[in-house]
Homo-oligomer: A and B are copies of this chain.
Amino acid sequence: MTDLHFLSTTTTNGVLEREFTLGDDIHGMLWSPPAQTGPLVLLGHGGGRDAKALPMVGRAQRLVAEGFHAVAIDAPGHGERPRTALDDEQIAAMQEAMSTGVPVGPIVVPYNLHLAERAVPEWQATLDALERLPEIDGPFGYFGLNMGTAVGVPLTAGDPRIAAAVFGIFWYDGTLAEHARRIKVPVEFLLQWDDQHIPRDSGLALFDAFASTEKSLHANAGAHKEVPRFEVESMVRFFNRHLR
């Protein structure tokens, strides 16, 4: 079993921030309330971003203020991790589709599910290491939109340590829905009502697939990238309800 290696430790505004590596491939950030044990929320980043992206840091700070620990790791091909030839090819295809107005779903969905196959074992190795830290105590939650949903749905379906999850802003897909049908923990699911990339019915069908008896869809007016800021507060309350 591999141990976490902490590269740096800083404390800013009451948030202990530790950059870490695990084995050869995993690089991430761990945010903690100093000297406080508590549950851990996994933050899955979106495509093209990484563990240090500003939205991750903002969510982590809000979670730490509520006594949670939060962790993010770079997905394969993201951050400073090397890209494969397939990564380059898929990213170019996405950019091509975006610029010509062709639907991106048929490219994003299979590519993100491919990345998820590589990312899920990395998340599990990270959890194995983190749960040995004395300050991590209690169940885990998962938050991830966009690509963070493609990774988080199979992760949550297969890892009983995750007790509640926030997903959303992703397409229906048969394989993903099979994973969703195995998820019974509470789920909050975000959808943008006027998403220019994800057909409304596709998002609704993915929400419908979860087997959870407690699941809530939050569909907000606005385009793909216009998820309202108040959903961060909703996420915090959701984890307060389910991880305590």
Give chain A's interface residues, CB within 8 Å of chain B.
Answer: 193, 204, 207-208, 212-222, 228, 230, 233-234, 237, 241
Q: When the two chains form their complex, are residues A217 and B217 in contact, meaning their CB atoms are under 8 A apart? A: yes
A41 CA to B218 CA in the complex, in Å?
A: 23
Residues B241 and A237 in contact, CB atoms below 8 Å apart:
no
B230 and A221 form a contact (CB under 8 A): no
CB distance from A50 to the nearest CB of B (A): 29
Q: Cα distance A117–B212 when bound, in Å?
A: 40
B212 touching A216, Cβ below 8 Å: no
Instruction: Determine which of B215, B221, B233 lies in contact with A220 in the assembled complex, contact meaning CB atoms within 8 Å.
Output: B215
Q: Which of B212, B217, B221 contacts A218 (CB 8 A)?
A: B217
* Contacts A230-B241, A233-B237, A241-B230 given; does A212 touch B217 at CB 8 Å: no
- Give bound CA distance, A22 to B205, whole Å: 49
Closest residue of B by beta carbon distance from A191 = B217
Q: A212 to B204, alpha carbons, bound, how many Å?
A: 21
A244 to chain B, nearest CB (A): 14
Interface contact A212-B221, CB-CB below 8 Å: yes
Which residue of the partner chain B has the closest CB to A187?
B221
Which 4 A/B pairs are nearest by Cβ-Cβ distance? A217-B219, A215-B221, A216-B220, A213-B221
The interface centre, meaning the residue of A207, A213, A221, A222 with most chain B CB atoms within 10 A of its CB, is: A221
A221 partner, pick from B214, B219, B233, beta carbons under 8 A: B214
* Residue in contact with A219 in the complex, picked from B216, B222, B230, B237, CB distance below 8 Å: B216
Query: Would you mind naming 18 contact pairs between A and B with Cβ atoms under 8 Å apart?
Result: A193-B215, A204-B204, A213-B221, A214-B220, A214-B221, A215-B220, A216-B218, A216-B219, A216-B220, A216-B228, A217-B217, A217-B218, A218-B218, A219-B219, A230-B237, A230-B241, A233-B237, A234-B234
A141 shortest CB reach to chain B, Å:
16
CA distance A204 to B204 in the complex (A): 10
